[in-house]
Amino acid sequence: MAFRHNTEIGQNFLTDKSVAQWMIGRARLSPADRVLEIGPGTGILTKYILDAGCARVDAVEIDVRLKEYMEPLAASDDRLRLHWDDAVKFDYSRLDETPTRVMANLPYHITTPLLWHLLESFAGGDMRYMMLMIQDEAASRIVSGAGNRESSPMSVTIAAAWQAAVLRKVPRTAFYPSPKVDSAIAEITLRCDSYAPLPRDTTWRRLLSGSFAMRRKTLVNNWAGAFGVKKDECAGILAAHSLDTRSRPEGLTLPDWLSLREDPTLTSYIERRR
Ligand code: SAM
């Protein structure tokens, strides 16, 4: 019987092989690489990854109906390990070896929670490269860094430790069934080991989520609401970092965020609110 795609869990399978070839060409896998693939589906990308000659592939897929496609592939290549689980909740420390790279055509609905989970799980380890095919708009938000209207807790955290860029767009016609929007391929490469553990830093995470709670409002308003910082004290904290009371979260640079993380008054408010 023909496979019935469940688009509610992002089952828009890649049908344009030239896109998979392009991804593999760009990723330049080495024979030592251990690749984590999220959502292998019927294995189109998995086959190219294996053919590229890496050491192993761990693939995490939630839909057990896809065993029919993936198990024969794993039976014919012992470098491929299948994990039938939810990639957002999966305990990646269960893998025999830490992956060096993540490659995925992601189910769109889990992009943000999955990315946080991957960044937390692999912080400071061997994983130094991610190539993710995601919704076009989500890709540009993730790589936007700090200091612009697309900035978010995720983009600021990525900018602290990673080099992130959108490499190319992929039209919706490259998938079956076609999604409603186009996709893009984002490449995220570790550039600063010392900030890689930030995703696990709860004070950092709360600083960002509280500051961006109402993104068009000032930090004074956001900090009062999220952390209970008195407004006159906000002014003092901001002044100590050369910021003024009109500052909004999307106007702060990465050095601003990193220096606010070290502010003793602000962090004591954040930590008291836990
Ligand atoms: N890699 C295949 C391709 O390129 O054609 C499939 C990509 S499709 C966009 C996303 C895949 O992720 C589907 O196979 C879907 O079943 C799977 N998936 C959805 N939610 C998931 C989750 N929470 N954990 C693991 N896999 C998931």
In ligand 1, which atom is closest to the CA atom of 13? Answer: 5
221 alpha carbon – ligand 1 mean position (Å): 39
The predicted-structure confidence for 110-135, as pLDDT tens digits, reads as follows 999 999 999 999 988 899 999 999 99
- Which pLDDT band holds residue 274 (cuts at 50, 70, 90)? low
The predicted-structure confidence for 183-232, as pLDDT tens digits, reads as follows 999 999 999 999 999 999 999 999 999 999 999 999 999 999 999 999 89
- The pTM for the full model equals 0.96
The predicted-structure confidence for 43-101, as pLDDT tens digits, reads as follows 999 999 999 999 999 999 999 999 999 999 999 999 999 999 999 999 999 999 999 99
Q: Give mean pLDDT, residues 13-41.
A: 98
| Homologous superfamily (CATH) for 201-272 | rRNA adenine dimethylase, C-terminal domain (1.10.8.100)
In ligand 1, which atom is closest to the CA atom of 9? Answer: 19
- For residue 145, what are the contacts with CB-CB under 8 A and spacing of at least 6? 151, 155, 156, 158, 159, 164, 254
Residue type present at position 268: S
Average pLDDT value over all residues in the chain: 96
For residue 123, the model assigns a pLDDT of: 86
122 alpha carbon – ligand 1 mean position (Å): 20
Domains 7-198 and 201-272 share a fold: no
Q: 61, 73, 183: which to mutate for ligand 1, most atoms within 8 A of CB?
A: 61
- Looking only at the bridges linking them, the beta strands covering 34-38 and 183-190 are unpaired
Helices (runs of H) and strands (runs of E) counted in the chain: 11, 9
Q: Which residues line ligand 1 (CB under 6 A)?
A: 9-14, 38-41, 44-45, 60-63, 86-88, 105, 107, 110
Ordered by start, the domain boundaries in the chain are 7-198, 201-272
**7-198 has which fold?**
Rossmann fold (3.40.50)
210: nearest Cα among 197, 194, 221, 196: 221
* Contact criterion met (CB below 8 Å) for 212 and 156: no
For residue 169, the model assigns a pLDDT of: 98
